[in-house]
Amino acid sequence: MKKTFVAMLLAVVMALTMVSGALAEETAAIKVGLIGPMTGDAASYGVSVAQGAELAVGEVNALGGVQLELNVQDDEHDPEMSVNAYNTLWDWGAQMIIGTVTTSPCIAVAAEAYNDRMFMLTPSASSTDVIADKDNVYQICFTDPAQGSASAQYIAEHGLATKVAVIYNNADAYSTGIYQTFEAEAAELGLEVVAVATFTNETTDFSVQLTQAREAGAELVFLPIYYTPASMILQQAANMEFKPIFFGVDGMDGILNIEGFDTSLAEGVMLLTPFSADATDELTVNFVTNYEAAYGATPDQFAADAYDAVYTIYAAVNAAGITADTPTEECCDLLIEAMQGLEIKGVTGTMTWDATGAVTKTPTAVRIENGVYVGFDVSAAAEAPAEEAAAE
Amino acid sequence: MTLFLSYLINGISLGSIYAIIALGYTMVYGIARMLNFAHGDVIMVGAYICFCATQYLGLPAVVGVLVAMVACTALGVTIERLAYRPLRQAASLAVLITAIGMSYLLQNLALLIWGPNPKSFASVVSIGSISLFDGALLISGETIVTVLANIVIMVALTQFTGRTKMGKAMRAVSEDRGAAELMGINVNHTIALTFAIGSALAAIAGALLCSSYPTLQPTTGSMPGIKAFTAAVFGGIGSIPGAMIGGVLLGVIEILGRAYVSTELGDAFVFAVLIVVLLVKPTGLLGKKVSEKV
């Protein structure tokens, strides 16, 4: 995998060297902005993304070809702050944006970027609203519809449960987006959704939602939510001795890194993610080793998405022949064109993109055992929805 | 029926936490005549200190709570000395704004010291849960301890303000500060003592709050703080039994509202109830009788 990738990159780099040789040597770096929550509730995602991206930029620059300069801005997972961060990057002269990390801010920034003709590649904002009607926004992660339907398919195919409860955050576009497609797919597959309970951002007491799920006889509770509320749900479920299977999506990733969290509470929790740090292919092993050496932590899916995002940008920049002098608007059109022809073998799978900006790749499911992820292969279950999402 | 009972117990558990926080609001309001909006954040600091003592220093949970109480007492007295005492003669609006500023200061200091990532608080309660009706109804150890702590604190405070010399001084200051001063009562000491007691209670409330709802971050105290303030007003601000009744009722209303009407509107119910009570009985449930006392 790694070899093909490197070979492909080398070919592109060589091609570019010939071009730039004619244009005289470029020394200035291409300015890449990155927006994500470095502080606040969702900081775990943002920090992972920034670290994954920095690692990849370091590697890319060491290749000696096109140089990238990364500028990381904090948005605290807040749409207004995110637009401010975007404006800061615009003033700085960013030619393209990696971000934003979370869905709600990303929708706000994508609208601005569309008007300004700034190319955006989000590592992890997975709602279809992020890319809808905007030709300049692309995703590394697979979309919410793909996550919702892939989860339902996985549960049905593996016979995990027939009675399913859902607890989701009604104030969050990510959470509601996944819930809607999950529900639709569950109905088709004959899964019985026995209870649907909602909460909002301020909620800390989940006793009512959990009681409703238990009273309805749910064998599995689907949690299309972020990890902070999920940690409270697991704790409170344990307190009331309610022990269904808990099934999460990529937002659950990060739960094991909460300081002081009793990982035994997450024992048996399953989640759908495109990246598994214990995969044995050369690309993943290299990434995990280098990441651990640099940051002293095992990379999560967000770090992996960001790592792939930088390599995607790098490949697209090379393919489009962009230099540090290319104006932002021109970069946007060139990159959009380049994205269509790319096939990137990254740590989160092999990715291709269609004109909507949605990615096609294969998610896998992992189960938490003894405080670590243990991988599953669900390629058969997830192939179809990923394609469906791409077709939408 | 057991379902209703289990909701009721959850409500009482949540309400008891509100009640302990509300006691802090009501004590300070009753004596210093000011709304200490930083109270919710003192709770958060207490929870963080308890977390650090148990997690990093490996102290037992009870010692952790005691350490947090001592630290919060010091913090409460310091806040009073530095931020509120210089404004003793100022307009009440100035004090209110200072309290809000103090609240933000504490939140941002916590952000600097402990970072933005939520921490998962290990319960300080080690007793197990009680199971009734063959397991249909489960009362968690946290609930039992919270309710008991609430009752003990309320009785102790009532006795303290009713029987001891310091308690009498507090009541005197709350009734007429000038006259109390003329009688030889040190008003500054009395108010500082009130802050000390309120902040120590905040540490207990923080440990119990995070034992039941284990996510600890710099904003942990703000929403419970606002709800507890609502509870204090609901019960009649300044009244100790009022704070307790207001807190418990508010918790029960919130949980039952979530259970039977809408899981998303739990908070809306809390504040709707407050509005209705204030319209019907502006002094709160127990406000009329003892609003001028502690």
Domain range list for chain A: 2-142+280-360, 145-273+364-391
Angle at the Cα of A101 (from A97 to A106), degrees rounded to 5? 70
Main-chain dihedrals φ then ψ at residue B49, nearest 5 degrees: -65, -40
Exposed e or buried b per residue across B234-258, where buried means at least 16 C-beta atoms within 10 angstroms of its C-beta? bbbbbbbbbbbbbbbbbbbbbbbbb
Chain A residues with CB under 8 Å of B4 CB are none
Cross-chain CB nearest to B138 (options A200, A205, A240): A240
CATH assignment of A145-273+364-391, among 3.50.50.60, 3.90.1150.10, 3.40.140.10, 3.40.50.2300? 3.40.50.2300
Exposed e or buried b per residue across A221-248, where buried means at least 16 C-beta atoms within 10 angstroms of its C-beta? bbbbbbbbbbbbbbbbbebbebebbbbb
Residue A389 has pLDDT above 50, yes or no: no
Q: Can you list the residues of chain B whose pLDDT is less than 50?
A: 289-294
Give the pLDDT score at A18. 52
Average pLDDT value for residue range A338-345: 88
Chain B residues with CB under 8 Å of A231 CB are 118, 120, 214-215
Exposed e or buried b per residue across A331-369, where buried means at least 16 C-beta atoms within 10 angstroms of its C-beta? bbebbbebbeebebbbbbbebebeebbbbbbbbbbbbbe
Give yes or no for a contact between A347 and A45, defined as CB atoms under 8 angstroms apart.
Answer: no
Average pLDDT value for residue range A314-329: 90
Q: What percent of chain A has pLDDT over 90?
A: 29
Angle at the Cα of A125 (from A122 to A127), degrees rounded to 5? 125
Main-chain dihedrals φ then ψ at residue B272, nearest 5 degrees: -65, -40
pLDDT digits (tens, 9 = 90+) for A264-286: 888 888 888 778 777 778 888 89
Q: Which residues contact A61 (CB under 8 A, 6 or more apart)?
A: A29, A67, A68
In Å, how far are A54, A167, A244, A251 from A74, measured between CA atoms?
Answer: 15, 29, 37, 19
Q: Is A269 helix (H, G, I), strand (E, B) or coil?
A: coil
Give yes or no for a contact between A318 and A79, defined as CB atoms under 8 angstroms apart.
Answer: no
pTM over 0.90: no
Q: Do A262 and B138 touch (CB under 8 A)?
A: no
Give yes or no for a contact between B233 and B278, defined as CB atoms under 8 angstroms apart.
Answer: yes
Structure tokens at A75: 């948005």
Chain B residues with CB under 8 Å of A211 CB are 3, 6-7, 10, 259
Chain B residues with CB under 8 Å of A203 CB are 266
Residue of B nearest to A201 (CA): B264
Give yes or no for a contact between A108 and A124, defined as CB atoms under 8 angstroms apart.
Answer: no
Closest CA to A196 of A214, A178, A209, A182: A209
In Å, how far are A113, A271, A297, A349 from A58, measured between CA atoms?
Answer: 26, 31, 18, 21
Residue of A nearest to B255 (CA): A208
In Å, how far are A54, A100, A115, B64 from A72, measured between CA atoms?
Answer: 9, 11, 22, 38
Picking from A236, A256, A259, A302 by the largest number of B CB atoms within 10 A of its own CB, the best residue to mutate is A259
Give yes or no for a contact between B214 and A231, defined as CB atoms under 8 angstroms apart.
Answer: yes
pLDDT digits (tens, 9 = 90+) for A41-95: 788 889 999 999 999 999 999 988 889 999 999 998 899 999 999 999 999 999 9
Residue A387 has pLDDT above 70, yes or no: no
Give the pLDDT score at A34. 94
Cross-chain CB nearest to A259 (options B117, B224, B263): B117
CA distance A291 to A162: 40
Cross-chain CB nearest to A215 (options B3, B119, B138): B3
One-character DSSP codes across B176-207: -HHHHHHTT--HHHHHHHHHHHHHHHHHHHHH
Residue A109 has pLDDT above 90, yes or no: yes
Chain A residues with CB under 8 Å of B3 CB are 211, 215
CATH (residue range A2-142+280-360): 3.40.50.2300
Residue A1 has pLDDT above 80, yes or no: no
Closest CA to B147 of B293, B20, B1: B20
Q: Do B14 and A205 touch (CB under 8 A)?
A: yes
Structure tokens at B256: 């039952």
ipTM above 0.85, yes or no: no
Cross-chain CB nearest to B264 (options A39, A198, A232): A198
Give the H or E element holding residue B31: helix B2-32
Closest CA to A37 of A288, A226, A222: A226
Q: How many residues does chain B have?
A: 294
Give the pLDDT score at B119. 85
- Could you tell me the sign of the dihedral formed by the alpha carbons of A284, A286, A289, A291, in that order? negative
Q: Is A133 helix (H, G, I), strand (E, B) or coil?
A: coil
Q: How many residues does chain A have?
A: 392
pLDDT digits (tens, 9 = 90+) for A136-154: 999 998 887 788 888 888 8
pLDDT band at A33; cut points 50, 70, 90:
very high
CA distance A174 to A177: 5
Structure tokens at A186: 């569950």
Cross-chain CB nearest to A208 (options B118, B140, B259): B259
Give the pLDDT score at B152. 93
By a Cβ cutoff of 8 Å, what residues of chain B touch chain A?
A: 3, 6-7, 10, 14, 51, 55, 111, 115-122, 129, 135, 138, 140, 142, 212-217, 223-224, 254-255, 258-259, 263-264, 266-267
